[in-house]
Structure 1
C-alpha cells in the first residue's frame, strides 16, 4: 500500500529543502530551536517540548523544566527505567517517559547533540509516529560540528530472547534492520519488514519516508484493561491505530505493514541509547521495549569503535 496523505509532510515537499541532511561522520546539532506540544500516550497530559542545539560531545539529553532545579536526564542506557509499553529514562527523581519516537527521529536524521527541554514527565505522542518530530527537526535545520562521530561495529553476533521472542545483531558491512511480528488478529497477522539505512533520510527509502511515518498500534480488546491499569490515558483514534476482530477501526494504513514498521521505529529509538547505531544487521521477532533494551546492553562489550566508516 502506498503511503497516504495522512503523513504530515510529503517527501515531495522535502525534496527541495533537505540538501543539508546527507550522511556526515561529523557530529551534528540543531541549527535553531524548535518547539512542539502534544498529549502524552500514558499520562494523558499536555506537555511542551523545546529542542535546543547542544555542544559537541554533550549527546542527547532531557531537561525537566517543570521540576525544581531543572534536573537533566541523559538519553543513555544507564538511565533506562523498566516500564510497560514504552521506554522511560530516570536519573534521581527526574524521569521522562515514552522517549522512543523522538529519539528514533534524532538518530534517524543523525542529530548527535541536543538539549530537550520538557515541561512534564512524558514526551507527547503527536500522531503516534515519529513524523511530527522529523518535521520539527527539518524546521530547525542541522548544524555540522567539528568533532567526529565514532563508528561502532560488532565483533561477534549477539542475541537476547524471551521464549520465542528475540532480538539479535550480526556483524554486517552496513546497517540494516529486519523486524517480524505475529498477532492472532487477522488484520495484523504475521508481518516482516526489512530496511537498510540510507545516507539520505528523506530519499525514497530513507528513514523519514519508510520508517518515521509508521504509527503506534493496539488491540481494541485490550484498551479497557490498559486504561484501568493507568496506561494509555492519552490514547485515541487520532494518535494510534486500533485493530479489532473485524479489522482496523481507523483506516487507512500508511503502509500494508505499518505495524511491523512501527516496531522497527521503536527498536531504532531504543538502540539510540547506545549513543549511535552500530554497523550491524539487527533482526527482531515479537520483541518488546524490554528486549530492545536488553540487546542494547548486551551489545556494549561487543562493539569496537573506530574513526573510519569503512
Structure 2
C-alpha cells in the first residue's frame, strides 16, 4: 500500500478550532470583486468549509480535494459533494436549486488554507460574501497575523493523525512534476525555472519544526505555536508573482482583474517592477505556499517529503487526488 493509514506517531492530539472570530476584507485576484471573509470557530468534526453568505440557500463548500472544480492560476472549490457533518450551531438550510452551468464556487482559496494548515486549525466556518477570497497583499502574511491574533482552542475530540507515504507517488506533465517521497518528517521543497534572469532557477525547502503529531496533548502554547511562527516568518510573507509581458493577455481572458503592484510581484526582462523582494527566492517560497494550501485539501497531509518542480495548481491537485486514491 503506497499510503499507510497508520499514523507515524500514536500520541493523542485533540482537534482545534479558532479561539475567536477573525475578519478580513479585500479584492480578489482574478475577479476583482471586493469581498468580506469571517473565520468562525466550528464544532469538532466540522472540518474547514466555506459558506457563501451572498447566496443564503447555497450549500456549504467543504475544503476537500474532491470539491476542486478548477485550477487555472488558482484553486477553485465548488459544492461537488455534501458535507459529512453540519455543525450543530448552524442548522442546514434547504438546498437551493442551482444552475448546472453556474454552481456556487469559491476561488483562490490556497493562501488562506495554507495559513489554516500552519496553525493546524481543523474546524472552521469560513463565511464569504462573494466568489473569491481576498488576495490581501498577495501572500499569507495578513492571514497568519489574523489567525495568530485569534489563537486556537483545543476541542474535546481526537484528531485523526496523519498517514505516512510508504513508496514514492508522482505526477508529471512534460518537465513539470510533483512527487511525494517517504520521509520521517513532513517537508516541502519547490523549484522553479524561468527564462527571465531576475527569477531564473531557484529552490526553497521548508519543514515544520514542531508538527502537532510529534507533540503531546499537554504541550506548552509556545511550543505548539512553533510551526505557525516558523511558517509566518519563512513562508507566509512570500507574495504571488507574475510576468509583465503576460498581463494584457491574462486580463483579456478575464483573469487577474484585481491584480496590482500592491498585491503581486511583477517581473520583466529588466527586473522587478515593484522591488524590494522580501526574500531572494520569494517566488519559489510562494509556490511552496501554494502547494501547502492545495495539499491541505486532503485534511491531514500525509507525512512525506513533497518535491515540486515547475508545477502548477493542476499538478498539485493531481497529486492530492492520487494520494487520496492510494489511501482508500
Q: Same fold judged by TM-score > 0.5?
A: yes
> What are the residue-to-residue correspondences of 1:11-90 with 2, within 5 Å?
25-90=13-78
Q: Does 1:246 align with 2:270?
A: yes
- The answer to whether 1:188 aligns with 2:199 is yes
The alpha-carbon deviation at position 137 of structure 1 amounts to 0.7
Instruction: Provide the secondary structure at the position in 1 that maps to 2:245.
Output: helix
* 2:89 aligned with 1:106: no
Following superposition, the deviation at residue 155 of structure 1 comes to: 2.3
User: Cα offset for 1:68?
Assistant: 3.4
1:169 to 2:157 alignment: no
Are residues 1:273 and 2:297 paired? yes
CA distance in 2 between counterparts of 1:70 and 1:286 reads 36
Contact 1:155 1:303 in 2 (8 A): no
Mapped contact 1:29–1:113 kept (Cα < 8 A):
yes
Q: Distance in 1 between matches of 2:300 and 2:259?
A: 30
User: Cα deviations across residues 4-53 of structure 1 (Å, max 9, x unaligned)?
Assistant: xxxxxxxxxxxxxxxxxxx9832100111111000000011100000000
Distance 1:176 1:169 in 2: 10
- Structure-2 residue corresponding to 1:153: 164
Greater mean alpha carbon deviation, residues 76-85 or residues 178-187: 76-85
Moved more, 84-93 or 100-109: 84-93
Q: For 1:258-296, what per-residue CA distance to the aligned partner results, in whole angstroms no more than 9, with x for missing partners?
A: 000000000000000000121110000000000000000
Gapped runs of 5+ residues in structure 2? 1-10, 81-102, 211-223
How far is the alpha carbon of 1:71 from its aligned partner? 2.5
Contact 1:202 1:208 in 2 (8 A): no
**Which stretches in structure 1 are left out of the alignment for 5+ residues?**
1-22, 305-310
How far apart, CA to CA, are the structure 1 residues paired with 2:229 and 2:271? 28
Matched, 1:289 2:313: yes
Quickly say closer, same or farther: Cα 1:153–1:203, change in 2 above 3 A. closer
Match 2:136 to one of 123, 126, 136: 126
Structure 1 residue 210 displacement after superposition = 0.7
Q: CA deviation at 1:298?
A: 0.5
Runs of at least 4 residues of structure 1 off by over 4 A?
200-205
Q: 1:90 to 1:161 in 2, by over 3 A?
A: same
Q: Output the CA distance in 2 between the equivalents of 1:26 and 1:178.
A: 28
Once the two structures are superposed, residues 40-72 of structure 1 have per-residue CA deviations (whole angstroms, 9 ceiling, x without a partner) of 000111000000000111100000000131431
CA pair 203-160 structure 1, distance change in 2 beyond 3 A = closer
Please say if residues 167 and 182 of structure 2, whose CA atoms lie closer than 8 Å, have aligned partners that are also in contact. Answer: yes
Match of 2:152 among 142, 153, 156: 142
Tell me the CA shift for residue 203 of structure 1. 6.8
- Determine the structure 2 residue equivalent to 1:11: none
Q: Secondary structure at the match of 1:279?
A: coil
User: Is 2:127 the partner of 1:117?
Assistant: yes
| RMSD, aligned CA | 1.7
Shift in Å, 1:83: 3.5
* Maintained 8 Å contact 2:119/2:227: no
Which of the residues 235, 256, 263 maps onto 1:211?
Answer: 235
